[in-house]
Amino acid sequence: MIEIKNIEMQFNKKVILNDFNLQIEKGDFLGILGTNGGVGGKTTLLKIIMGGMIVPNKGTIIINGEVQHITNYSLQNNMGFVPDHAILYEYLTGEEYLHFVGGMFKVSNERIKKFTETVLKDMGLIDVKDKLIKTYSHGMKQKVSIASSLIHEPKFLLLDEPLTGVDLISGKNIRNFLKQYTENGNTVIITTHLLELAHSICNKIAIIHKGKLAKIINVTDYDLEKLEKEVESIYV
Report what 38 binds from ligand ATP, Mg ion, none; CB cut-off 5-8 Å by kind. Answer: ligand ATP
Report what 149 binds from ligand ATP, Mg ion, none; CB cut-off 5-8 Å by kind. Answer: none
Report in angstroms the alpha-carbon separations of 47 from 21, 68, 111, 136, 227: 15, 12, 27, 27, 26
The only residue of 22, 31, 43, 174 in contact with ligand ATP, by rule CB under 6 A = 43
The answer to whether residues 37 and 191 touch, using CB atoms and an 8 Å cutoff, is no
Is residue 40 close enough to count as binding ligand ATP by CB under 6 A?
A: yes
Closest-approach residue to ligand ATP (CB):
40
Report what 11 binds from ligand ATP, Mg ion, none; CB cut-off 5-8 Å by kind. Answer: ligand ATP
Instruction: Determine the Cα–Cα distance for residues 149 and 86; give it in Å rounded to an integer.
Output: 11
The only residue of 20, 28, 31, 34 in contact with ligand ATP, by rule CB under 6 A = 34
The only residue of 2, 34, 43, 51 in contact with Mg ion, by rule CB under 5 A = 43
Give the count of alpha carbons within 13 A of 116, CB side only: 22
Which chain residues interact with ligand ATP by CB under 6 A? 11, 16, 34, 36-38, 40-44
Which chain residues interact with Mg ion by CB under 5 A? 42-43
